[in-house]
Structure 1
Amino acid sequence: MTFGVRAHDFGRKEAAELASEIARMGATHVQLAPMKALKGFEADSGASNDLSLFMDKDKVLRIRELFTDQGIRISILGCYFNMAHPEPAIREKGIRQFQNYLSLAREFGTTRVGTETGSVRSDYGPDPRNNSEEAFEDFYRTLEKLIPVSKVPVTTSFTEGLARKINTTPGWRD
């Protein structure tokens, strides 16, 4: 049996240390969200949330090699941003970041990039408006901007539906 873990559940670490710790757990697959899991990739590091400004293909290949050397495959990249953020400029920044993750996915050794639907609140918090048609339309317009990048090269984007966020299962709503 093989299993995978979310790298950011281990805290923010250097890539080599993180890969080693995950390998000790016996995991062979990982969801890697660089902005949440890797030191030096913090959103507040001064480089902005645009991964392309501080990560090139050589750096990506080195991170992939560190995980591969520990017997771990980066099965999915996590690129969390609020797809319905109330401020359009912040939402656009997230779209650019996600598009960049899609463009670098193959260098990480995966074709999958995941995110969440988000919330109409800037803090991702629950809000009754998350269940509105307007919130869903904002989310959908954001999703439409990701589809062309998802098609070439062959990559897949995933969106997690979470409780009290947009596009949740009705049974989970408060």
Structure 2
Amino acid sequence: MQSIPMTVRGADLLRKELNELKTVTRPKIIADIAVAREHGDLKENAEYHAAREQQGFCEGRIQEIEAKLSNVQIIDVTKMPNTGKVIFGTTVTIVNVDTDAEVKYRIVGDDEADIKNNLISVNSPIARGLIGKQVDDAVSIQTPKGIVEYEIIEVEYL
């Protein structure tokens, strides 16, 4: 199986979610199932069926997280020398050549991606266009509105 790149923060968030699912969510669902069973006939017991469905989602998510964590490759850019090169985990400030609009992105794994917080997936078009480039490089990135020219003005290993 292919290793899954992840930042230290991303792996910590997954471990916290796994712990929450195992120590809080799973026991609550088991208790809900027990309560629903006491209501009698299981064939028409909506509470029971809802709790069982929740249990299926919870167990599926636990398995998914455990599989990811067993194949994780944690990349900590803070322990690497800043060469000015854009790699997984770096924070990149780019400026749109046409509009002078400046934006800062951190390149993270798929699980951590959150565009509202400027965390972009390593598999996104922007990240793919930036990986391997350096400060002062010009990059052309295919966006839904067409090709946009950016200049890399800062690469941070935070």
Q: Is TM-score (shorter-chain normalized) higher than 0.5?
A: no
Scaled to the shorter chain, the TM-score interval is under 0.3
| TM-score (ref. length: structure 2) | 0.21
User: Higher strand fraction: Structure 1 or Structure 2?
Assistant: 2
User: Which protein is richer in helix relative to its size?
Assistant: 1
Normalised to the residue count of structure 1, the TM-score between the two structures is 0.19
Higher RCO, 1 vs 2 (CA within 8 Å, ≥6 residues apart): 2
Look at both structures and tell me which one has the larger radius of gyration over its CA atoms.
Answer: 2
